[in-house]
Amino acid sequence: MPEKQLDVVVVGELNIDLVLWNVPMPEYEKEQLAADMRFAMGSSSAITAHNLSMIGSKVGFIGKAGEDTFGDFMIRGLERGGVDTSRIIRDRSLKTGATIVLANPPKKALLTYMGAMANLTLDDMDWEYIARARHLHLGCFFLQTGIRKDVAKLFARAKAMGLTTSLDTNWDPEDKWGEDLLQTLPYTDIFLPNDDEALRIARTAHLEQAIAALQKQVRVLAIKLGKAGGMVRANGRTYTHPGFPVEVVETTGAGDSFNAGFLQRFLQGADWSECLRRGNACGALAVTALGGTGAFTDRESVQKRLNAFLG
């Protein structure tokens, strides 16, 4: 078999974040002022793809964007990170979505227009391209409303083609954690929820119970625990790592960066505790800068800072 051209193909959503800092709650018929603003790449899947590429994996992205400024911004951002964007479909009839974040630390309110991400479907998949990758990752399951009912099929076919699969659902805005997710888990090699999501999906208030239930459905369960690091349950064994203490600037994209570190070491054949350590190192690095990709803009400094964590 020819050598694979890509380590990971990410199937995902593309939207931008506009963050306004220290704003009063909006009121109709009033203009109010924010103390600061930031315009950045949003999207769990895009942040994972970008950061995974910045730490050295070969990454391609399949997604949908409008033919507009936000779409250009997202694609340019991914390209700056070294991600192959040739399979991002530009659709003139659609708008690239946006999330307005009203940030009053530690609280934030999010307003999202989903836009093109809701229109990516199974029919948009380029199977010949997917076959070039060793692994398929999908982020933001619940926001990808056009494809979520078919992710089980997508994963099943990818696995039949010899790829491994991973899934980070992120939060379900409807708080339903539907049947289509449960159908996807048996085809998921690496499942990457955070602790709150794991509880919701397993429909329990106790993490031990959630772990017991979810480990039966996926090959490897990796649960993100915020500043407490993370844990992995695989082959009947539990691995834990307390994370790396850092000075937090902003936590956007911590989970997505954890995914990047974890998947990179998995694809290098590392054991689960190594995957977990690299996941935590990338998560910790992410929270030291503004935005999901802010700490992953320069390969050399990323490597240096990860080495400082990992020794």
Q: Which is nearer to ligand ATP, 9 or 284 (CB)?
A: 284
Q: Which is nearer to ligand ATP, 87 or 227 (CB)?
A: 227
Q: Which is nearer to Mg ion, 58 or 144 (CB)?
A: 144
- The verdict on 291 binding ligand ATP (CB under 6 A) reads no
Q: What gap in Å lies between CA 200 and CA 171, rounded to an integer? A: 9
Stretch that binds Mg ion, among 156-164, 169-177, 269-277, 288-296 (CB under 5 A): 169-177
Q: What gap in Å lies between CA 145 and CA 136, rounded to an integer? A: 18
Q: Which is nearer to Mg ion, 170 or 293 (CB)?
A: 170
Count of residues engaged in binding Mg ion, rule: CB under 5 A: 2
Assign 3-class secondary structure to 64-86. Answer: EEECCHHHHHHHHHHHHCCCEEE
Min CB(248)–ligand ATP separation in Å: 5
User: Residue 189 corresponds to which amino acid?
Assistant: D
In sequence order, what E strands does the chain have?
A: 6-11, 15-21, 36-41, 59-66, 84-91, 96-104, 107-115, 133-139, 164-168, 190-191, 220-224, 230-234, 237-241
Among Mg ion, ligand ATP, none, the one that 280 touches (CB under a kind-dependent 5 to 8 A) is: ligand ATP
- The verdict on 259 binding Mg ion (CB under 5 A) reads no
Min CB(300)–ligand ATP separation in Å: 22
Candidate list 165, 169, 170, 215; residue touching Mg ion; CB under 5 A? 170
Exposure of 25 by Cβ count < 10 A (0-12 exposed, 13-18 middle, 19+ buried)? exposed
Residues that bind Mg ion (CB under 5 A): 170, 255
